Amino acid sequence: MVKNNVNLLIFGSFLGCFFSLKFTFIFCIALIIKLVRLVLRSFTPFKNCSTFDPENFSFGNTFIDHMIICEYENGKWGDVKLVPYGQLPFSPAMMGVNYGQACFEGMKAYKDKDGQVFLFRPEKNFARINKSASRLAMPEVTEEMFIDGLKALVDIDRAWIPQGEGMSLYIRPLIFATEEALKARVSNKYMFAIVATPAKSYYSEPVSVLISDFYSRAANGGVGSAKAAGNYAASFYPTQLAIEQGYEQIIWTDDATHEYFEESGTMNVFVRINDTIYTPPTSEKILDGVTRDSFIQLAKRRCIEVKIEPVAVKTVIEAQKNGTLKEVWGVGTAVVTTVFKALGYNGEKLDLPSLSLEESFALTLQKDLVDIQTNKVEDPFGWRVLVEKNILETA
């Protein structure tokens, strides 16, 4: 509205300037206002979100200007489109929402101090989304759709990536069934989409977690190793119950006996007893987390002993009682690391030590990881992937 008024003013003044000097003066003022606006706009990092405050926002509610979409029909994927972020028209009879044929990925882009932008191990997310898609009888996406789509999106909206400690762009690729049909069968239509939101670390303070003795996140033969949307839906109710008991998260235990740790909240879980780290092996019930794998490799590089083996609840509780349990923490893309300050078990709240950065394996490994992700240090693993500028123009 304001912009239109300025344009009208310029046009009107332009005509008027033929008739009087007064109008020439107004024309010049309007032109200056327009030029100042243009200059200001090109220096404003968060272009379409004047109210966005990079110092103070909650995770996942603000979306960048664009998104990627691609539709699947008649047995094949169509063209990948980079479009303005917005709503999509779907029927309530869409199979994705009725039968839960939907999966997603979580990954991040980081901006270094010079403004260069990097993805972190995107090939792992590409492989995993296809693993999830296959498990849910959905079509796999191609590397071109996934990796090139990601790069094009991140490049065009690079101004949205917040810079600085703990800041990143959280990227959410997803596949969901879009056919309008209520018969319980595999859908014939799907959408692949990528959206993204600026992010700080997800849970920043240490949290108390309840060791589950009834609910499970996954079952033998189930979809635990897929990033299936339904896995998250099923976790909300037990998590609400845990919150009512004064905990922030749950440590999921195995469905058969509840004697072994599996995951925690939306994260993989690590336990440190004395100076050895333990984490359960990935399986059909445990997600093969990219952050989990990175932590294991970083710990080994520091010559910290890592044991990938079943982690018994009994062992952890005994270690807490005899003082050898040093740390328990969760890792995931969104959070990077969440340190646990207490474990709830059998009606007791068992405190964990509060360690400094120098003492804590969790915080030290987190720092190692974030330093690589944000290009503060060398990347001996080859994990960072640079996002070139102006990808679409040079393609």
> Shortest Cβ distance from residue 335 to ligand COI (Å)?
6
Residue number, 106 or 222, with CB nearest to ligand COI? 106
Are the C-beta atoms of 381 and 297 separated by less than 8 Å?
yes
From residue 129, alpha-carbon distances to 146, 154, 190, 229, 287 in Å are 9, 19, 14, 12, 12
Identity of the residue, 109 or 319, whose beta carbon is nearer to ligand COI in the bound complex: 109
Q: How far is the CB of 386 from ligand COI (least distance, A)?
A: 22
Q: Closer CB to ligand COI, residue 96 or residue 332?
A: 332
Query: Does position 224 bind ligand COI by CB under 6 A?
Result: no
Report, in this order, helix, strand and coil percent for the chain, each rounded to 5: 35, 25, 40
Among 101, 212, 235, 333, interactor with ligand COI by CB under 6 A: 333
CB of 106 to ligand COI, least distance (A): 2
Interacting residue with ligand COI among 130, 178, 253, 266 (CB under 6 A): 266
Tell me how far CA of residue 261 lies from CA of 257, 302, 310, 350, in angstroms.
11, 25, 7, 16
List 118's β-bridge partners, or say none. 110, 386
Q: Could you tell me the smallest distance in angstroms from the CB atom of residue 57 to ligand COI?
A: 15
Q: Where are the alpha helices (DSSP H) in the chain?
A: 2-16, 21-43, 95-99, 122-135, 143, 149-156, 229-244, 290-301, 313-322, 361-373, 391-394
Asked whether position 249 contacts ligand COI by CB under 6 A, the answer is: no
Q: What phi and psi, each to the nearest 5 degrees, are found at residue 5? A: -60, -40
Residue range at the interface with ligand COI (CB under 6 A); choices 39-47, 242-250, 330-338, 351-359: 330-338
Our CB check for ligand COI shows the closer of 77 and 295 to be 295
Verify binding: residue 106, ligand COI, rule CB under 6 A.
Answer: yes
Using CB under 6 A, pick the residue from 100, 122, 173, 332 that binds ligand COI.
332
Sole window of 87-95, 317-325, 328-336, 348-356 interacting with ligand COI (rule: CB under 6 A): 328-336
Return the closest-CA partner of residue 343 out of 276, 271, 236, 279: 271
User: Between 96 and 330, whose beta carbon lies closer to ligand COI?
Assistant: 330
Q: CA angle 295-268-108, nearest 5°?
A: 65
- Give the contacts of 156 (CB within 8 A, at least 6 positions apart): 65, 66, 82, 391, 392
Cβ nearer to ligand COI, comparing 222 with 332: 332
What is the contact surface with ligand COI in residues (CB under 6 A)? 106, 232, 266, 332-334
